[in-house]
Amino acid sequence: MTNPSNPSSTETQRPLALLSVHDKTGLAAFGRALVELGYDLLASGGTARALLQADLRPMLVEDLTGFPELLGGRVKTLHPAVHAGILSRRTPSDEAELGVYGLRRIDLVAVSLYPFEEALARGVSAEKQLEEIDIGGVALLRAASKSFEHVTVVPGPEHYAEVLEVLQKKEALGPLRRKLAALTFQKTAAYDHAIASWLLGAAATAEGGQVALRYGENPHQSGAFACAEGPPWTQHGGKELSYNNLLDLDAAWSCVAELPRDRPGAVIVKHGSPCGVAVADTLAGAVRLAIAADPISAFGGIVAVNRPLDYASVEALGDLFLEVVACPPHDPKSVVAQRDLLAAVHALKTSKKNCRILTMALDVGVDARPRARTVLGGTLTQAPDLALPEPAVWQTPTARAPSEAETEALAFAFLVAKHVKSNAIVLASHEGKALVTRGIGGGQTNRIDAVHQAIQRAGEHVAGAVLASDAFFPFSDGVEAAAAAGIAAVVQPGGALRDAEVVAAADRLGVAMCLTGRRHFRH
């Protein structure tokens, strides 16, 4: 076979395919098809051996570079002789430079990376996990993707058939190359994220894909967090997270993610249920209102916000003892954003040295993934509760309809009620242009107790507030208690046998009522 590194060969114009794959699925057939299409093959290590066993004769990377594999295989393809052939822009000057050094263009690069995430899931030792971090493969993929105008990148055996079909039909490669380059950058980004998450988890005593937690629900119980992609957060300060911290963090993040995206918002969660929620014109304003909604319950809680944390928001936390403060990531390209993050983290570390400070890798947005929990030795799964009817489709069976301001507060309260443990009652009102919860009653075994709890927590702010219930009122007593306290409007799903009695009570007491037609239990 002609040496593919020799540009004076009569076969210098034959396309050259570099194959360096961990996953050998379909490799022999793919390599054979490429040869039939006129490609020369260039392969590294185990890939070359697999091709030779299939009676194919690839050029070895070490023959091209003049170096054997080094450091036990850690260094194979990291060489100018390889990357220059991929990164050549096919211009006369680039072609001339390749010729000076006796190098050939590389027209196709097929790489499957070391199975880092699979090793993580198997729970291998930290030393073995480190060896599953692919360096050369990622470099090859990124180089080929950057050169997508001239190079076909194949980031896994699942793309072999599509690539061969286009090559065999002699169709234009441009659209396929661009698509595969985009998919490849997505894959390398996810790969790097998994590694970063593992390293961050390892810093918090990770063992084989599981982050060891400070303890479980109680100090005498052990606990761990397992996620194939690694922890979706970066921790900047504070003690190790506990089992309860993560349960509360999940509840807080789920709620803050559904707050109106156009306004800064803050959620405080305690024991798995929101105790203060607010949206305002500034993040600091939202934080202050959320704390003020129930300062007693906020003590020792978790704060989640829907904007990157800034110094003013940290000041708004005051001297309140908190377990966790979580926010979206700051823009890594913005010097101002990074400065704000550093200032906020420094201030929190100074004022609350044990508080966990987290920037979340998850988007502030609706999480559509299924939910799962273990019961009775098995697993329950369900679709997430994402449906939340808009006020435009609510029904108003009472003589008085809520005002525009009351409707806005009702929608806010009903959204929050979806995240409160059932039975759930949420009182809310306007604070200037802001919206804030005034009293939350949740986790009660009957609805009237939840109403009384919410009213008691609202205190002097109950008069003129609105009320949201996560499920229907089975009797009129809940509405009667709300009206007696000064509640102006109520929103609830409806659907009870005594709906007519409940509506009649609201009419009698001058309370506006809306029916959404959809229940939102959270057990």
- Which residue type is seen at 519? R
H/E stretch holding 292 reads helix 283-293
How large is the average pLDDT for residues 322-326? 92
In the prediction, which pLDDT does 271 show? 92
Contact 344, 376 (CB under 8 A): no
| Nearest-angstrom CA–CA distance, 364 and 287 | 17
In the prediction, which pLDDT does 8 show? 41
CA proximity to 439, closest of 419, 421, 402, 466 = 466
The CATH class that applies to domain 16-199 reads alpha beta
- Any idea which of 58-72, 92-106, 457-471 has the lowest mean pLDDT? 58-72
Over the stretch 254-313, which tens digit does the pLDDT of each residue have?
A: 999 889 888 999 999 999 999 999 999 999 999 999 999 999 999 999 999 999 888 889
Helix axes 447-458, 477-485, angle to 10 degrees: 10
More confident of the two residues 377 and 7: 377
| Nearest-angstrom CA–CA distance, 83 and 263 | 47
In the prediction, which pLDDT does 512 show? 96
Q: Which residue has the tokens 């395919």?
A: 17
Can you give the residue ranges of every domain in the chain? 16-199, 232-380, 391-515
* Cis upstream peptide for 423 (omega within 30°): yes
CA proximity to 79, closest of 99, 55, 106, 49 = 106
Residue 59 has pLDDT above 60, yes or no: yes
Residue 365 has pLDDT above 90, yes or no: no
How large is the average pLDDT for residues 103-128? 76
* Most confident segment among 122-126, 149-153, 386-390: 149-153
Of all residues in the chain, the percent with pLDDT exceeding 70 is 88
In this prediction, residue 94 has a pLDDT band, given cuts at 50, 70 and 90, of confident
Residue 3 has pLDDT above 50, yes or no: no
In the prediction, which pLDDT does 5 show? 45
Residue 316 has pLDDT above 80, yes or no: yes
In this prediction, residue 222 has a pLDDT band, given cuts at 50, 70 and 90, of low
In the prediction, which pLDDT does 4 show? 43
CA proximity to 104, closest of 63, 73, 76, 163 = 63
How large is the average pLDDT for residues 91-102? 81
In the prediction, which pLDDT does 482 show? 94
What three-state secondary structure class fits 192? helix
Residue 195 has pLDDT above 50, yes or no: yes
Do 232-380 and 391-515 show the same overall fold?
yes
Print burial letters for 114-144: b (CB count within 10 Å at least 16), e (below 16): bebbebbeeebeeeebeebbbebbbbbbbbb
Residue 205 has pLDDT above 70, yes or no: no
Residue 194 has pLDDT above 90, yes or no: no
Which CATH architecture group holds 232-380? 3-Layer(aba) Sandwich (3.40)
Measured CA to CA in angstroms, residue 31 lies from 20, 27, 47, 55, 230 at distances of 11, 6, 10, 10, 35
In the prediction, which pLDDT does 413 show? 96
In this prediction, residue 2 has a pLDDT band, given cuts at 50, 70 and 90, of very low
In this prediction, residue 206 has a pLDDT band, given cuts at 50, 70 and 90, of very low
| Nearest-angstrom CA–CA distance, 117 and 201 | 14
In the prediction, which pLDDT does 201 show? 55
Over the stretch 386-424, which tens digit does the pLDDT of each residue have?
A: 878 889 999 999 999 999 999 999 999 999 999 999 999
Over the stretch 417-453, which tens digit does the pLDDT of each residue have?
A: 999 999 999 999 999 999 999 999 998 999 999 999 9
What does 85-134 look like in DSSP terms, one character per residue? HHH----HHHHHHHHHTT-----EEEEE---HHHHHHHT--HHHHHHT--
Q: What is the residue-averaged pLDDT of the chain?
A: 84
Known catalytic residues are 146, 271
The CATH fold assigned to 391-515 is: Cytidine Deaminase; domain 2 (3.40.140)
In the prediction, which pLDDT does 216 show? 73
H/E stretch holding 18 reads strand 16-21
More confident of the two residues 484 and 74: 484
Residue 349 has pLDDT above 60, yes or no: yes
| Nearest-angstrom CA–CA distance, 273 and 223 | 21
More confident of the two residues 342 and 205: 342
